[in-house]
Chain A
Amino acid sequence: EIVLTQSPATLSLSPGERATLSCRASQSVDTYVAWFQQKPGLAPRLLIYDASNRATNTPARFTGSGSGTDFTLTISSLEPEDFAVYYCQQRSGWPPAVTFGGGTKIEIK
């Protein structure tokens, strides 16, 4: 099973600051990585797919990058609504298997 390790577990930042979230895979997943945002009491929301493609309605301040084993989600300037938990997810192998990272919480400093 491919393990995704997210870091840091928590980011304490202020609105307007830049956020950089990391996701590392235990083996190469090519670019089959997605990023989700989850707010309390709500279902996850897809932000990025295939490592760097914004999903419909994802603001331009969200940028995904990486390939192989190292991936990054960058939020260029945090808005108040961006404080949430973010998960990376990969889909690879045969038969296909999906795993999620443990999550990074962005909290207000």
Chain B
Amino acid sequence: QVQLQESGPGLVKPSGTLSLTCTVSGDSISSVNWWTWVRQAPVKGLEWIGETYHSGSPNYNPSLKSRVTISVDKSKNQFSLRLTSVTAADTAIYYCARDSRTGMDYWGRGIRVTVSS
């Protein structure tokens, strides 16, 4: 059974950097899938942040591209999100997901991140 688990700080200071990790089990990070980050601000819809393939080659939401980095650690079967210069608008639940040829079929439970001083 494929499982994804987000981890990282739940509180980040304004202008700081948000760093999250997604640990994948039941599948290899080197498999033929895109590894994705999606977020959901309070009482809002879903927003795609970006994705990466195991070889690198990330794709980012154009509205976040200047602040986002998604990377892979094959040795730990993990992928990570780094979002710089955060503001209150970045407060959200952050999900990691596997995007296979048949859609975003496995999701983590999500991690709530608040940007506040």
Q: Identify the A interface with B (CB < 8 A).
A: 1, 34, 36, 38, 42-46, 49-50, 53, 55-56, 87, 89, 91, 95-103
Q: Interface size class for chain B?
A: 20 to 34
How distant is B40 from chain A, measured CB to nearest CB, in Å? 9
Is the beta-carbon distance between B105 and A46 smaller than 8 angstroms? Answer: yes
How distant is A93 from chain B, measured CB to nearest CB, in Å? 10
Complex interface: chain A residues within 8 A of B104 (CB): 34, 36, 44, 46, 89
B101-117 with Cβ < 8 A to chain A: 102-105, 107-110
B32 within 8 A of A: no
Which residue of the partner chain B has the closest CB to A85? B45
Which residue of the partner chain A has the closest CB to B107? A43
Which residue of the partner chain A has the closest CB to B93? A43
Q: Identify the B interface with A (CB < 8 A).
A: 36, 38, 45-48, 51, 59, 61-62, 95, 97, 99, 102-105, 107-110
Report the bound CA distance from A50 to B105 in whole Å. Answer: 13
Point out the residue from A42, A45, A103 that lies within 8 Å of B45, measured CB to CB: A103
How distant is B61 from chain A, measured CB to nearest CB, in Å? 7
Point out the residue from A49, A55, A96, A100 that lies within 8 Å of B46, measured CB to CB: A100
Is the beta-carbon distance between A44 and B46 smaller than 8 angstroms? Answer: yes
How distant is A90 from chain B, measured CB to nearest CB, in Å? 10
Is the beta-carbon distance between A95 and B45 smaller than 8 angstroms? Answer: no
Most buried by B among A36, A46, A56, A98: A98
